[in-house]
Each structure stands twice: as structure tokens, then as C-alpha cells.
Amino acid sequence: MAMIPLERDVIYPESDGRPMGESDLHRDEMWDLVYVLQRYYAGSPDVYVTGNLFFYYRQGDPRSVICPDVCVVKGVSKHRRRIYKLWEEGQSPSFVIEVTSESTRREDLEDKKLRYAQLGVDEYFLHDPYGEYLRPRLQGLRLQGGRYLPIEPASDGSLLSQVTGLTLRVEGHLLRLVETATGTPLLFAQEAVESEQAARLEAEARLRQVEEQLARLRFQQADPNSDR
């Protein structure tokens, strides 16, 4: 009879040893979305946002693994992980985005779709940045009765996420996340840096104006006969 290995003897790899063979656009979008969602949930200590991390979902079986491009897990602590073990964490992702490509589209549309439904992932979105493989290029699925049903798009093709309270909208090659309640777009990393720089320059300009006004006022007070 085959021996069942003890948990301490089971190795759960952090990588499959293969490089990420995607375009710059695919990679940048994946990390931009992770960044945006991490900022969005920064004040929520029990919401974990990650991407390209191995999720093991069956104890003792390292082959039972899936690797979402972008995902949100609610009800777990927010700390860095090397891998995610479902039986230890107790929560599956509730929201997943796959940035699909020629090399991943079959897996994204078939294997991952089935596995995410079995794991209870409430919402599953797929985005094809180049619009080469999906029609439409942004698609969403919501779990109902144990199976996925398509999320009905708005007239502009955008999709509403009930899990996050965000609207997913295509902008050129990019996937934009927007606060549904306010219509406020969430800034990508570079946009956030540029926005902070612009705000700093504006604040510095206002400070200079105030200093110049104070200097003129002091001069006028010191010399009441000065030209006003």
C-alpha cells in the first residue's frame, strides 16, 4: 500500500520554473492592476490583493495549483506571502482578472474558468489588451448556483463588479478600474506619481505667491508712503 506523505514532507513550489513569456503590455497591465487594487484596499486590513502567486487548493497535492494574474481575497490578513495555501487561509479569491494572450487564452477560457467556479470565485474577468483573441475584448462572469453566467455589459462595454464596487472599462489597450459610486478613475502607478508631482508643484507655486504677498505687505507696513 502506498504511503501517504506527511504534510511536512510535501513541497509546494513557489514557481514552475518557467519565465513569464508575455508582452510588455500584458506584464505592465497585470502589475498596474495589482497596484491599483492594493491602493484601493489599503485601508482594509482583511483584504489581500496579489498577482502571479501560486494558489494551492488541495492539501498534500502540489499539482493542485492555480496562478491568477490579479486577484482579491477577502477575509484574510494583509501580509506578504510566498505561496497561498487554501486549507490554511480558509478563503478563496472573490475577484480574479486574467490578462489573456495567445499562450494563455485556452487555459483562461476553459481550465481556469472551471477551476475558479469550483473554488467559489465570485467574479472572473478576462481582458485581451490587443483585442486579438476575445470578442468582446473584456468579458466578465459571475458565479450563480455554482456556475458562471456572463455579466451583462453596459452600452460602452464596461462591466460592473459587485464584489469590489468598481467598474471595469477598456481605455485603448488598457483596462481601467473606476469607482462605480463616484465615477472616479483609479490611477495607475505612473499616473499616481505624475499626479503627486503636479500637486507638489502647485503647492509650491501657491506658497511662493503667499510669501510674495507677505513680503509686499511687510514692505508697505514699514514704509506707509510707499507706492501701493
The bridge status of strand 70-74 relative to strand 47-50 is: antiparallel
Distance between CA atoms of 154 and 178, rounded to whole angstroms? 14
Contact 21, 104 (CB under 8 A): no
- CA-nearest of 168, 180, 183 to 136 is 168
Distance between CA atoms of 57 and 65, rounded to whole angstroms? 6
Q: Provide the 8-state DSSP code for 127.
A: E
pLDDT string in tens for the chain (228-residue length): 455 566 778 999 998 766 555 788 899 999 999 999 999 999 999 999 999 999 999 999 999 999 999 999 999 999 999 999 999 999 999 999 999 987 788 888 899 999 999 999 999 999 999 998 899 999 999 999 999 999 999 999 999 999 999 999 999 999 999 999 999 999 999 898 886 876 676 777 787 887 878 788 888 887 766 655
- Beta-bridged to residue 48, according to DSSP, are 73
Peptide bond into 136 cis (omega under 30): yes
pLDDT (0 to 100) of residue 1: 47
Distance between CA atoms of 193 and 140, rounded to whole angstroms? 30
Q: Which CATH class is domain 7-186?
A: alpha beta
174: Cβ contacts below 8 Å, ≥ 6 apart? 29, 32, 129, 188
